[in-house]
Amino acid sequence: MSLGFTVITGILTVVLSGFAAIFSIITFIKNERDVTYSDIDSAYMEVLKLGIEYPKFRDPAYTRNYKVAFKDPQERLQYETYAYIVWNLCETIYDRNDKVLFETWEPVIIAENKLHRAWLEEPENHHKFKRRFLEFVRSKYPYEK
């Protein structure tokens, strides 16, 4: 074997290894995004199922003024827990910091903001979320009272 052949083989091995590493990283990122999408999709499906079971929780006539609309203390507590679940899911989408994933799920954040923003704006709920998430929601999505 000549020295030139050995050098070329070595360079080729390094280049192919680099391509394999890049391909592995791309595959990992895609798989991670797919798993995240699936997890969020499953969680949101559960939120919607609860909304079918408790339709008032998806009705803006109730949710925009929930402290008055839900007269029964137990029903109000159920709604508050539901709203917390919804906003927690929205924060999870935000936390992923993935533009493609966010583009897919932003319509959900917009819809849930319209339904449950009154709950989020209550001072007693602010400690449940990161400040930067609250700032993001306030700066990007209007509060429709």
The rounded distance, in Å, linking the Cα atoms of 141 and 40 is 21
Tokens of 69: 């609309």
> Domain segments of the chain: what residues?
32-140
Long-range contacts of 131-137 (CB under 8 A, 24+ apart): 133/91, 133/94, 133/95, 136/94, 137/90, 137/109, 137/113
Q: Is residue 37 within 8 Å of residue 104, measured between CB atoms?
A: yes
Query: Is the pLDDT reported for residue 18 higher than 60?
Result: no
**Widest CA span of the chain, in angstroms?**
88
Tokens of 135: 């700032």
The structure's pTM equals 0.78
For the chain, what is the mean pLDDT? 87
Tens of pLDDT, residue by residue over 31-78, are 565 547 889 999 999 999 999 999 999 999 999 999 999 999 999 999
